[in-house]
Amino acid sequence: MLSVLVSAALLLAAPSPSRLVAHCAQFDVSARPSVAELIQRLDLADLNERSAAGDDLACYGDAAAPAVKKMISQLFNTGIGEVNGNAIEAVAFLGSIAVPALIEALDDPAPLIRINTIEALRSIGPPAAPALRALRDRRGKPGYDIALVDLTIRTIEAKP
């Protein structure tokens, strides 16, 4: 069952950085809600609104660090490929500031959150190096797809 979820996550959640780069290029921080307001929007019932809040938070860069845990908990477990993929992209767009929260999320009880967390670390690449030990510790353990963990480790270890 878990490998079916991994396969689905990999197929449906392929990040598209150009989408977010274009979004942030048009993003005017002075005319947008604050990080605190966007964090509150992550609790909305409407998945499109939550996903949009995640995209907007990615444009705040380091200032969005307080939002990362909430982005993971509210957007990585929707079961909707596009929403999950956009969330992976938004968290990965934040780069190394997202890594501590992603390491913590590796132990989430929800399999889809764990899968999407590993995918976000893979998308971050070498700046996610602080997560290597945590990934190696989970390699081969129940609830973790060994192929996805290995691919993520290789991607993080790749020379930029």
The residue extents of the domains of the chain are 2-157
Mean pLDDT of 114-118: 95
Handedness of CA 4, 82, 156, 60 (dihedral sign): negative
Mean pLDDT of 149-155: 96
Q: Which one has a higher pLDDT value, 8 or 128?
A: 128
Tens-digit pLDDT profile for residues 7-56? 444 434 444 567 888 888 887 777 889 999 999 999 999 999 999 999 99
Question: What was the pLDDT predicted at 142?
Answer: 92
CATH for 2-157 is 1.25.10.10
d(CA 156, CA 79): 26
CB count within 10 Å of CB 25 equals: 8
Beta strands in the chain (DSSP E): none
d(CA 37, CA 39): 5
Question: What was the pLDDT predicted at 4?
Answer: 40
Mean pLDDT of 57-61: 93
Tens-digit pLDDT profile for residues 60-105? 999 999 999 999 999 999 888 888 899 999 999 999 999 999 999 9
d(CA 1, CA 107): 18
The answer to whether the pTM exceeds 0.75 is yes
The contacts of residue 16 (CB under 8 Å, 6+ apart) are 85, 89
